[in-house]
Structure 1
């Protein structure tokens, strides 16, 4: 898998726990050791304050080795010193040694003071920062973020939510550590955390965008995944609006609207919270599947939800096609012309062309067999409809099927006489001939 890393910017948040003043100092009982401990403590803190972290490390190391129970500040300040020292050296092995020391300090601090909840999020941050590019250790960062959630139930800093999912993405890319379903579940969980944070008034726009970019980079969502993985989940939990909306959004995004999973999701959404769009799209899907009766029911529902003339026109046009497919030609004509009433510019010519086509195809339905003039009069009706549609080709085709002069004469008619087509067409037309 080609890894398309999303750059996680600087995580600008306050790292809690860096404190200078700590109670409960445990100075050695031996006077000489106490004096030495005080000397090293003063020295390393002075170096730290002046930004000389490599020098600060020397005194800190002596204190951690010889008086490890002196004060919790050794571990708090030690994390800061070793982390910053790792940024100051060019040797990768030495930098990694300092980074490992940061993690070790947290581990020892937990053994001695048992207050993991206070700093576990910071530890996860450092693990991500240090190991995100390391195939063998990026999983350690993921596990620490998992531990944060285990302790607190969430990640409290939105930027760290993005870091968490970036670590998951890298672990997935490097080590195939998750199935696509597991990776998507992680995405959903973390996105839910961000949504909760947003409700609390926090700005989560950037981490949300990062999660979405990483999910796309994982390249796990396609039509097969939606239909074969998410679809069965919806079958097991058919009332899950959240899952239904997710399937709907992914299907639209990835152009997978012809899958059974999309239709199932659409049904859940439309039944629970119908809108004009959901009912119309659902009807269109049924029509694509040649389930015209069901489509008609949904279009009728959509019509009650339509708010504009344009929407009403669309639904009447959809209904026209449903009626036509069910051989309800009279109703199809009425619906098509109704669409034109609501949106003349969009549907008037289309509606008349649609009606003309139905007239042209009604020869066998409307042939009485007693009068050729009457039987052929439906083509005059079609011609008139094509004229309203502005379809000159259709007009020529219809005129080629007009009755002939001889047929009019034989039956006692003249050009200009009026006749009703009868049948479902029921149009009174002025007779004309094809020759």
Structure 2
């Protein structure tokens, strides 16, 4: 106790030059001693009057005054059941922090503690949002000093502040995200707890989207794509797909990577169909067909399966495999007879396009038999325009007669078509 009072005496001498006329050295020493004794015995309620007096009348006397005040006001605030008293105590705690800043300066750790207390106690208090936001901005001026517990609260309080005041620009919002993401990446690179840091960033991603609100853009997608390499990459992928739909960003590298992750981890027909469409656009037809076949394996609805078969048929046609194209078109018809018109027309066009490869040049009626079977397909599709185009290619009656044939005679079509049909003719040229 003797050492404490010797220290008190030295402080009193140092402080005497700044002493107000109506405050005596003895009053300061007495109140400091009362506060000190009660702090020693954790009698925090009893310490409050002396601490309040010192904060008001001798704030620069000793840094202990502010440190004790912060500790006392916060501790009692957490213990009291009186909501109004709790608010008063927490406000007093903030005043003690600011008093310490004014007279002694705040260390980086103290700034972190102040910012976190705004989040802990005032995250739903609009009147404190601006102060809270500024406290976090101050902390992140030195991101390397930020405690882990303040990584998520920063963007949370920014969201609260902007929601209430609409004052943050897109650049400010992006900078907040970039500052946090950059520091998390640095800590992971320095062997920080990767799982915990990934969890922080997952929460930060969610809050970033909410912070952007209507300002969300394709630029945000690029930022969020960093999460595709995290442990929660599936969640990130779903988020990116949603953003793509909302912003109409279209096909991007990030979107394709997200699709691939979801296709591997949570496959569904829709994902594989999108991948197939992208491959088809890139003229990677075999790859596209492979994706469609994966979609088929997962699809349970017959009509949807029929549509997939038809998509595959079209790709085989583009890839110059007409037998496979017809096979898949017929599979589409079998699964969805009511919607078969387009598939029948498709097969009709397959036959129409096969004249050059199937004709042998010996018999014009036999060579033009591809148009007979094409007509039959168009007829099943009720495709009048297709029927008319096929009819234009029929041999004339005289051509058929010259080869000992008349309309209605049976005839076989060879080549890849390998079908039986009947002779059809037109009146004249």
> For 2:383 and 2:170, how far apart are their aligned partners in 1?
62
> For 2:142 and 2:62, how far apart are their aligned partners in 1?
30
Q: Does 1:293 align with 2:286?
A: yes
Is contact 2:241-2:255 (8 Å) kept? yes
Greater helix content: 2
| Structure 2 counterpart of 1:62, from 52, 57, 60 | 57
Is contact 1:142-1:164 (8 Å) kept? no
> For 1:241 and 1:175, how far apart are their aligned partners in 2?
26
> For 1:180 and 1:323, how far apart are their aligned partners in 2?
50
Matched residue, 1:162 = 156
Is contact 2:371-2:393 (8 Å) kept? yes
Matched residue, 2:383 = 391
Aligned residues: 373
Matched residue, 2:422 = 430
RMSD after superposition: 5.5
Scaled by the length of structure 1, what TM-score is found?
0.63
Cα deviation code 1:131-186 (max 9, x no counterpart): 8669xx95543344799996763359x98863244569989628758559827948
Structure label with greater radius of gyration: 2
- Structure 1 residues 378, 349: closer, same or farther in 2, change over 3 A? same
Q: Does 1:153 align with 2:164?
A: no
| Structure 2 counterpart of 1:215, from 212, 215, 225 | 212
> For 2:316 and 2:361, how far apart are their aligned partners in 1?
27
> For 2:256 and 2:162, how far apart are their aligned partners in 1?
31
> For 1:318 and 1:165, how far apart are their aligned partners in 2?
46
Instruction: Trace 1:354-433 onto structure 2 (pairs within 5 A).
Output: 354-433=346-425
- Structure 1 residues 195, 434: closer, same or farther in 2, change over 3 A? farther
- Structure 1 residues 420, 103: closer, same or farther in 2, change over 3 A? farther
Query: Which deviates more from structure 2 when the two are superposed, residues 410-419 or residues 296-305?
Result: 296-305
> For 1:76 and 1:385, how far apart are their aligned partners in 2?
88
| Structure 1 counterpart of 2:178, from 171, 174, 182 | 182
Scaled by the length of structure 2, what TM-score is found?
0.64
Give secondary structure in 1 for the equivalent of 2:421: strand
- Structure 1 residues 248, 183: closer, same or farther in 2, change over 3 A? farther
Give secondary structure in 1 for the equivalent of 2:361: coil
Is contact 1:313-1:340 (8 Å) kept? yes
Structure 1: gaps spanning 5 or more residues:
1-23, 40-44, 49-56, 86-97
Instruction: Trace 1:8-87 onto structure 2 (pairs within 5 A).
Output: 61-62=56-57, 64=59, 69=64, 74-75=69-70
> For 1:155 and 1:148, how far apart are their aligned partners in 2?
10
> For 1:109 and 1:123, how far apart are their aligned partners in 2?
21
Matched residue, 2:169 = 173
> For 1:391 and 1:32, how far apart are their aligned partners in 2?
105
Matched residue, 1:15 = none
Instruction: Trace 1:216-295 onto structure 2 (pairs within 5 A).
Output: 216-222=213-219, 226=222, 241=233, 247-295=240-288
Give secondary structure in 2 for the equivalent of 1:154: helix
Is contact 1:148-1:155 (8 Å) kept? no
> For 1:117 and 1:259, how far apart are their aligned partners in 2?
39
1:413, CA displacement in angstroms? 1.0
Structure 2: gaps spanning 5 or more residues:
10-24, 35-44, 78-83, 186-194
- Structure 1 residues 367, 308: closer, same or farther in 2, change over 3 A? same
Instruction: Trace 1:121-136 onto structure 2 (pairs within 5 A).
Output: 121-123=116-118
- Structure 1 residues 66, 297: closer, same or farther in 2, change over 3 A? closer
Matched residue, 2:98 = 104
- Structure 1 residues 110, 130: closer, same or farther in 2, change over 3 A? farther
Matched residue, 2:20 = none
- Structure 1 residues 131, 320: closer, same or farther in 2, change over 3 A? same
Query: Which deviates more from structure 2 when the two are superposed, residues 269-278 or residues 61-70?
Result: 61-70
